[in-house]
Structure 1
Amino acid sequence: MKSGLYQNRGENQVKELIRAAKFTVFFIDNDQQIHIKDIGESNLIARWAEKEGARVQRLKLKSQFRCNGSDGYLAWLENTLQLKETANIKLTPQEFDFRIVDSPSELRKLILEKNSAKNQANILEKNSANKSRMVAGYCWDWASKKDPEAYDITFPQYDFAMRWNLTKDGSTWIIAPDSVNEIGCIHTCQGLELDYVGVIIGPDIRFENGRVVTDVTKRSSMDRSIFGIKTMLREDPQEALQLADRIIKNTYRTLLTRGMKGCYVYCCDQALRDHFAAQLSPARPQAATGYGKSAHPQTSAGYCETALPRVPALFREPEVPPGPRIEAEVNASAQFVEFLPLYSLKAACGAFGEGQYAEESGWVKVEGLGRLNRNMFVVQAKGHSMEPKIPDGSLCVFRANVVGSRQNKIVLVQHRGLHDVDYTGSYTIKTYTSEKSFDRETGEWQHERIVLKPINPAYRSIVIDQEDDFTVIGEFIGLVKS
């Protein structure tokens, strides 16, 4: 992007910074491109710096204070928005105060309560007050910019009407005392933090056929971040749609990470609301509730639960303890000695089943499971079929390349024709049993079929014919301790 108010000066802001200073530091988040003209991807900066004769040193931020310091929340959000596949499939209440609500009116009520409570608790500490705000995707025109009496974001069915952020406050909108009664957009909150953020996810993103899809045509025509996209759609539709998809998802990733203590969300698309709710682990076992109902003992609008099959109480949703912390990196001397790599199921099956290179999602400290080695890895279980032994969302240690009988052992299996209600893709975690028959002609035992059995009696076994193409990726060793 060029310099100047109208981006019409100079050559390139990044190049100008490198040339202007003896020592330049860039803090880069490659997933925060929210404008069609945004530049600054880390590899591009490094290439420009090297052309200017600068020595480039890369450092990695290993921890952060945003979102309650929860790296797990950030990874879960990327997985849920389908920006990238991570091992963080479920979000537990202990990680971050994240809630899905039924209406924008309920969202506004929560934010006003948080903002008011903060003010009352810190009446003598003005700098600590006034730190809860609402933001939204730029899907509504800014009518109030010209007509102060007009409302911009309206939901008549919920008796909800609010205006975009005040023009008089400019870039300080997010800290202006009265701005709790306004709604901010990506351009006024990127790079800033709140205690609690309420996010309205607009119609530019929805969930259908198992995918999070975007629709740039639902963005407001006043949104300058996509100026030029119509021309791109005519010239190169595929590239334009990919860029628009990245901008829209990055926008919501940024909005959903503005809260340091909590994030409350209303989705215009009901299916997207259901998708988010399905990725939340409840705070305590109880009957399934509707959106906005509490699964947290101290709130009136809380975490969402999805209905389970009618099963014995023993197998109902267990209480989820705080999970082990996932480290982005560990010293080489600690790898496979104290820590094991964490993979998504797809990555684990690629690495240990097909010999492909797979990058770990992080490193997890493993204790009490004996001596570790390079054949061992960690994946996150999903669903309830192996409860109570393997709770939903727990981190499981597996060992690959195991020889000997697998009979009655819990295994991770990849099978191209497999369908498991707990997992998307051709993977499952089940108890391996082989049914055999005696061949009188050869005098040997022959496999008739392989049955992958769940522990939870509410689920069905998966039967695999001997001729079917399947691979046992690893044998279950145990659970990672919290």
Structure 2
Amino acid sequence: MLESVFPDKELTKEQQKVFERIETFIKDNLNGSKKAIFQLNGDAGTGKSIILTKLFLAIEKRAKENKTNNYFLVNHPELLKVYQENAGEFSELRKNRFLRPTTFINQSHKKQTKADVVVIDEAHLLLSESVNYNNFTQKNQLEEIIKLSKVVILVFDEHQVLKLKSYWSKNLVDQVIKKFQAKFEEATLMTQMRMQAPRKVVRWIDDLTDKLQLDQDLVSKKDYLTMSSNYDFRVYSNAEKMYQALKKKNSEVGESRIVATADYPSTLDGKKHYVNEGQFHLPWDQYNYSKVTWAQKPETIDEIGSIYTVQGFDLQYVAVIIGPSVSLSKDSIVVDPDKYEDQEAFKKRHEDDLSDLHTAKKSIILNSINVLLKRGVQGCFIYFHDRDIYDFLNNQR
């Protein structure tokens, strides 16, 4: 998990080419009169964070010589822990340069300072409107960061937008960039690097979340359906059997966890809240106050992780419970936002910029499923609350 964002990880040829493009972009624009923005696109698991961490290490190595003031931002507390821990392994990196966006913005305004280069991982998690609860009072975080920087390098994946208060689309990002009349370049990573899976498995996931279609090209086993001998991809009819299989994998290879869509009630009130599916009964993860990430704690094999726990991370095996908001109708997937329990994700926006709120909510649910299903390096197990989906996949309908 940690090595996936370690700064000295070797890059592929595709990643190296993009890395060199961004380095050139920074050098060409650092002393320019205009704002400069480079946008790195790519699906979950294509290696965007690997490029960013290696890039920031290179920037910081030159910081003293160039007298630059640089920051690495990520709006994800679990990921921030990893970046700060990794920073301690390199003398050139300082932990106080790895911040949450709100901290950077408020700190910069208070001290009346500006940055030279700001790198933003998971920019799709930036707030796109003011949220007093998060101590952010300006209009949107991307705009504020651009104001406070000379060069901005950001990672963006429209398919990983998970909340209305951080609702981004390519159009909204383009509007912010256009407002500054900035110099702009972008690159897109295409190769899936996390999942050691054949293309047909990745396509199965994308067809489910992008097209609401299910490929029935699955072979029936004793307890589950499968479609690949190279990647351990399974669809279970029984959540408890799936969990027991996952625990076995965890004892064999480590860092294997069960997660679920936010279709089951949970409140941050200090009490345990459970996901129940037949004989399966486990509590949601608790707020993680320690510096150790959730999946690195041995005891969390007995908890259920959420999208907020595992987004951006690698797991060896992931088991995903897809809850009641997803069902089958006439051989197609149907998504019902009214059955989604994550009220924070659907908290009403102040900005009246969404023409179709129902579609936006459905996109958030499908994005979360896509992200969860793409966590596993060696394998992915799936359980659907709606038994009709399993029966359809098993050609029993």
Match of 1:223 in 2: 343
Q: Distance in 1 between matches of 2:290 and 2:217?
A: 38
Distance 1:3 1:193, change over 3 A: farther
One-letter amino acid of the counterpart of residue 154, structure 1: N
Q: 1:99 maps to which residue? A: 234
User: Greater shift after overlay, 131-140 or 236-245?
Assistant: 236-245
Structure 1 segment 291-370 matched on structure 2, within 5 A: 306=395
| Aligned match of 1:208 | 329
Aligned counterpart, 2:270: 146
- Please give the residue correspondences for 1:85-96 in structure 2 after superposition, counting only pairs within 5 Å: 90=217, 92-94=227-229, 96=231
Is the 1:164–1:183 contact (alpha carbons within 8 Å) kept by the matching residues of 2?
A: yes
Counterpart in the other structure of 2:361: 244
Q: Which runs of 5+ in 1 are unaligned?
A: 119-129, 278-304, 309-482
Q: Once the 2 structures are TM-superposed, how far is the Cα of residue 215 of structure 1 from its aligned partner?
A: 1.3
**Alpha-carbon distance change, 21 to 242 in structure 1, aligned in 2, over 3 angstroms:** same
Bigger radius of gyration among the two: 1
- Whether the aligned pair in 2 keeps the contact of 1:139 and 1:219 (CA below 8 Å) is yes
| 254, 261, 264: which one aligns with 2:381 | 264
Tell me the CA shift for residue 89 of structure 1: 7.9
2:153 aligns to what SS in structure 1?
coil
Aligned CA distance change for structure 1 residues 202 and 87 (closer, same or farther; 3 Å) = closer
Change (3 A) 1:145 1:182: farther
The 3 A distance-change label for structure 1 pair 46 and 243 is closer
User: The residue matched to 2:183 in structure 1 has which SS?
Assistant: coil
Q: TM-score, normalised by structure 2?
A: 0.58
Is the alpha carbon distance of 1:94 and 1:70 closer, same or farther for their aligned partners in structure 2, counting shifts above 3 Å? Answer: same
Q: Deviations over 1:325-372 (max 9, x none)?
A: xxxxxxxxxxxxxxxxxxxxxxxxxxxxxxxxxxxxxxxxxxxxxxxx
Give the secondary-structure state (helix, strand or coil) at the position aligned to 1:207.
strand
Q: Residue 282 of structure 2 aligns with which residue?
A: 162
By how many angstroms is 1:50 displaced? 3.1
Is structure 2 residue 310 aligned with structure 1 residue 189? yes
Structure 1 position 236, deviation (Å): 12
* Whole-angstrom CA distance in 2 between matches of 1:116 and 1:255: 21
Partner of 1:52: 180
Aligned-partner SS, 2:186: coil
> For residue 73 of structure 1, what is the aligned residue in structure 2?
201
Q: Which has the higher contact order (CA 8 A, sep 6+)?
A: 2
Displacement of 1:90:
4.7
1:173-215 deviation digits (Å, cap 9, x = unpaired): 2222211110011111111121100000100110111221111
Q: Is 1:18–2:146 an aligned residue pair?
A: yes
1:137 aligns with 2:261: yes
SS class of match (1:66) = coil
Q: Alpha-carbon deviation of 1:131? A: 0.8
Cα distance, 1:238 vs structure 2: 8.7
Cα distance, 1:61–1:88 mapped onto 2, change above 3 Å = farther
1:12 shift after superposition: 1.0
Match of 1:355 in 2: none
In 2, the alpha carbon distance for the partners of 1:79 and 1:176 equals 33
2:134 match: secondary structure: coil
* Corresponding letter in the other structure for 1:116: S
In structure 2, what is the equivalent of residue 109 of structure 1? 244
Is the alpha carbon distance of 1:45 and 1:307 closer, same or farther for their aligned partners in structure 2, counting shifts above 3 Å? closer
Q: 1:185 to 1:45 in 2, by over 3 A?
A: same
**Counterparts of 2:214 and 2:383 in 1: how far apart (Å)?**
25
Q: Percent identity?
A: 25
The answer (yes or no) to whether the contact 2:212–2:332 under 8 Å persists in 1 is no
In the alignment, does 2:62 pair up with 1:62? no
Report if aligned partners of 1:207, 1:213 keep a CA contact under 8 Å in 2.
Answer: yes
What does the per-residue CA deviation read over 1:46-77, in whole Å, with 9 as the maximum and x for residues that have no partner?
A: 33223213211121102131221545433321
Matches within 5 A, 1:417-432: none
1:84 alignment partner in structure 2 = 211
* TM-score (norm: length of structure 1): 0.48
Contact 1:14 / 1:40 at 8 angstroms: preserved in 2?
no
Q: What is aligned with 2:166? A: 38
Q: Is the 8 A contact 1:28 1:41 kept in 2?
A: no
- 1:34 maps to a residue whose letter is L
Question: Which residue identity does 2:282 align to in structure 1?
Answer: M
Q: How does 1:272-291 map to 2 (within 5 A)?
A: 272-275=389-392, 277=393
Q: Residue 79 of structure 1 contacts residue 89 of structure 1 at CA under 8 Å; is this kept in 2? A: no
Report the alpha carbon displacement of residue 243 of structure 1 after superposing the two structures with TM.
1.6
Query: Matched residue of 1:27: which SS?
Result: strand
Cα distance 1:145–1:109, how it changes in 2: closer, same or farther (>3 A)? farther
Letter aligned with residue 111 of structure 1: L
Q: Is the 8 A contact 1:193 1:259 kept in 2?
A: yes
1:175 pairs, out of 296, 303, 325, with 296
| Superposed CA RMSD | 3.3
Cα distance in structure 2, aligned partners of 1:181 and 1:134 = 8
Structure 2 counterpart of 1:241, one-letter code: H
Is the contact between residue 35 and residue 226 of structure 1 (CA under 8 Å) also seen in structure 2? yes
With over 3 angstroms needed to count, the CA separation of the structure-2 counterparts of 1:201 and 1:7, relative to structure 1, is: farther
